[in-house]
Amino acid sequence: MTARLVAAAFAALFAFAAPAHARDELHLYNWNNYIAPETVKRFESVCQCDVVQTYYSDNEELLAKLAAGATGYDVLVPTSNAVQALIRGGQLKPLDKTAIPNIRNIDPAYLNTPFDPGNQYSVPYAMSTTILGYNDVKMKELGLPTDTWAVIFEPKYLEKVKGRVTVLDSANELFAAALKYLGYSANDVDPKHWDAAAAVIRKAKPYWAAFNASSYIKELTVGNIWLVHGYSNDIFQANQDAQAAGRPFHILQGVPKEGAVLAVDNMVIHKNAPRPDLALKFINFMLDGRNSAELTNLIGSGNPNMDAMKYIKPALLELPAVFPPPALKAKLEQLKDLTIAQRRLRNKLWTEIKASK
Amino acid sequence: MRRRSPWLWAAAIVAYAFLYVPLLIVVVYSFNDSRLNAEWVGFTLDWYRTLAHDEQMLRAAGNSLVIGIVASGVSTVLGTMAGLAMHRYRLRLLPILIFAPIAIPEILTGVSLLIFFVLLNFTLGLVSVALAHIAFCIGFVAIVVRARLAGMDETLTEAARDCGASPANAFRYVTLPLIMPGVIAGALMAFTLSIDDFVITFFTAGAGTVTLPLAIYSMIKIAVTPEVNAVSTLLMLLTLLLIIAAARLSPSLFRSQGDH
């Protein structure tokens, strides 16, 4: 009897798990809220298929799952350094460029990077920059600059905003900002320069309210925090929420003149994709300016698609992080993966920073 | 009744507050009229309306429920059998085999199950998640059932056999009713473990299989909206109903030992 019960339970589960699907399916493994719902609907009607999305919240999650052998995904949207790791792991299928003519819409500045020379496997999807976010009323009141990393590192500025500043709880992001502030590349690996960066961070730490990577959006919106080192998409989100809640201030994006970190997410096809044909169709579809613009209009993401500009809401076009102006574009850097020895050194410095008073 | 010291009352109140106030906050904020949920703005049912139209979130909740029910059902049957076997026979290997999955870190279980499914060429989806959940729930059910059996008077079963009951009947009419509180407690535990498991589910879920914990976790990068509070509130309500149902089915489940 028990055996029959167990069998019945599984039969029911299979029946639930496999409803009769007459339509084709494209499996998209994506970040949450990283494609506009109307874009999905339009693609579904164009390709006569269903888009089935699964989400990850971290590149490492994606890498771990694929490294263990998970399959069934057609298109993935990893960040550049993760693309490089996937290429090295032999996880990706080369792109058939003849099937994606819309690649010509992408700004050449974002193509042919060291992460995927010649874009054999990947095309840029959307991006974000790590910059300053600030409360316009408070910063004006205090007369602080918002175009330099000095404002989060120099005690002479920090004195005025003590306890009202947060920085990202990420060794790589914070070191990159400090290295940029000192005039080095964000990818500089000279240990002496790292020591100098660590010293800058340690000196500024007593003035910061917290290392914060998640709730700073909320804190900015409510007005508890006036200045952050954060992601451009989050800062955009904070301002939208602040306006929706009718606050008497704006949350603006401040681009440091020393340059900043750029994170580009790219569309790639998994080597075992069940439907590489649909995957290519999807990639070409997303490279269309209108479809690409819908994501930017939704979350304020940076857009590498030149054709998207005419579809983007005017208010968003003014944001430096959406279409970085040429002067800024030249100073944006994508972070490269560290070697194991370098990572160990950075972790050591980071632990010392976290433990210091 | 003896008078109890006020300190005991104070300690009890603090302990229960610690357990239940966070849950209460989740419930209260599911009615908050603010996307950010940073402070109380006003009462609204909007988030429940949003939830009712959010197909993905509903599908995730549906998946979690189906997996939870199947995993707790199957693991209760198998776990009860394992508990019985361990109680009745002096087995050396079985307890190790049953309890090891409880002690093994979840991440290891998850990765090894994923590798195993890939080796077998088994399509990842609801079925693979349910199988994985059954695997780690059996041990918990077996522990609870065995503990219950240890407190059972063995002579009752023997008496039933003396009176001519077949082994099957003795089990069905004597042993099973006696251990029922343990079986139900095991089933509830399995259900709870299954419905909020993240790590093992993450690795064994296939393309397109989203459960509630997976859906909520992936939202952490972007701000978590009160919609998550709303869906959590509904889940809590469901769990509460389950516990009430279990208490009705087996009143002795929630009575302390002394009352027997």
pTM of the model: 0.82
Q: Phi/psi of residue A261, each to 5°?
A: -85, 135
- How confident is the model at residue A85, as a pLDDT? 94
Do A58 and A122 share a domain, yes or no?
A: yes
Do A170 and A214 share a domain, yes or no?
A: yes
Query: Are A13 and B203 in contact (CB < 8 Å)?
Result: no
Residues 232-251 of chain A with CB under 8 A from chain B are 237, 241, 244-245
A41 inside domain: yes
pLDDT level of residue B259 (50, 70, 90 thresholds): very low
A328 inside domain: no
Q: Which residues of A touch B209 (CB under 8 A)?
A: 54
Do A231 and A340 share a domain, yes or no?
A: yes
A114 in B contact zone (CB under 8 Å): no
Place of tokens 């509904």: B234
pLDDT level of residue B98 (50, 70, 90 thresholds): confident
Place of tokens 């060291």: A114
Do A86 and A138 share a domain, yes or no?
A: no
Strands (E), A210-292: 210-211, 227-231, 251-254, 260-270
- How confident is the model at residue A5, as a pLDDT? 57
A272 inside domain: yes
Residue B222, SS3 per DSSP: coil
Q: For residue A41, give the amino acid letter.
A: K
The percentage of chain B sitting over the pLDDT mark of 90, rounded to a whole number, equals 30
Burial of A156 (0-12, 13-18, 19+ CB in 10 A): exposed
| Residue range of the domain that includes A343 | 128-261+336-355
Do A145 and A245 share a domain, yes or no?
A: yes
Tally of domains within chain A: 2
**A327: Cβ–Cβ under 8 A, 6 or more apart, which residues?**
none
A132 inside domain: yes
Q: Which residue has the higher pLDDT, B55 or B135?
A: B135
**B239: Cβ–Cβ under 8 A, 6 or more apart, which residues?**
B192
pLDDT level of residue B235 (50, 70, 90 thresholds): confident
Do A237 and A278 share a domain, yes or no?
A: no
A11 inside domain: no
Do A213 and A351 share a domain, yes or no?
A: yes
**Cα A104 → chain centroid:** 23
Q: Quick check: ipTM above 0.90?
A: no
Do A48 and A134 share a domain, yes or no?
A: no
| pLDDT tens-digit readout, B123-140 | 888 999 999 999 999 999
CATH at residue A288:
3.40.190.10
Q: Which residue has the higher pLDDT, A263 or B33?
A: A263
Average pLDDT over residues B232-254: 78
Please name each of the domains of chain B with its CATH number. Answer: 57-255 (1.10.3720.10)
Whole-number Å distance between alpha carbons of B196 and B186: 16
Which of A1, A2, A16, A29 should be substituted to probe chain B, the one whose Cβ sees the most B Cβ atoms within 10 Å?
Answer: A16
Asked if residues B113 and B204 have their Cβ atoms less than 8 Å apart, the reply is: yes
A18 inside domain: no
Whole-number Å distance between alpha carbons of B199 and A344: 26
Distance from CA of B12 to the nearest CA of A (A): 33
A69 inside domain: yes
Query: For chain A, which ranges sit under pLDDT 50?
Result: 20
Neighbouring-strand partners of residue A268: A76, A122
pLDDT at residue B232 greater than cutoff 90: no
| pLDDT tens-digit readout, A113-153 | 999 999 999 999 999 999 999 999 999 999 999 999 999 99
- b/e map A59-69, b = 16+ CB within 10 Å: bebbbbbbebe
Do A119 and A219 share a domain, yes or no?
A: no
Which of A5, A31, A55, A217 should be substituted to probe chain B, the one whose Cβ sees the most B Cβ atoms within 10 Å?
Answer: A55
Whole-number Å distance between alpha carbons of A25 and A49: 5
Tokens of A231: 């992601």
Whole-number Å distance between alpha carbons of A121 and A85: 12
What is the residue-averaged pLDDT of chain B? 86
Q: Helix, strand, coil proportions of chain A in percent (round to 5)?
A: 50, 20, 30
Residues of B at the A interface (Cβ-Cβ below 8 Å)? 34-39, 41, 56, 66, 70, 73-74, 77-78, 81, 111, 114-115, 118-119, 123-127, 130, 202-203, 205-210, 214-215, 217-223
A114 inside domain: yes
Do A351 and A245 share a domain, yes or no?
A: yes
Helices (H), B30-105: 46-53, 55-88, 93-103
Do A49 and A181 share a domain, yes or no?
A: no
- How confident is the model at residue B260, as a pLDDT? 42
Do A223 and A163 share a domain, yes or no?
A: yes
**A263: Cβ–Cβ under 8 A, 6 or more apart, which residues?**
A79, A80, A127, A128, A129, A130, A231, A334, A335
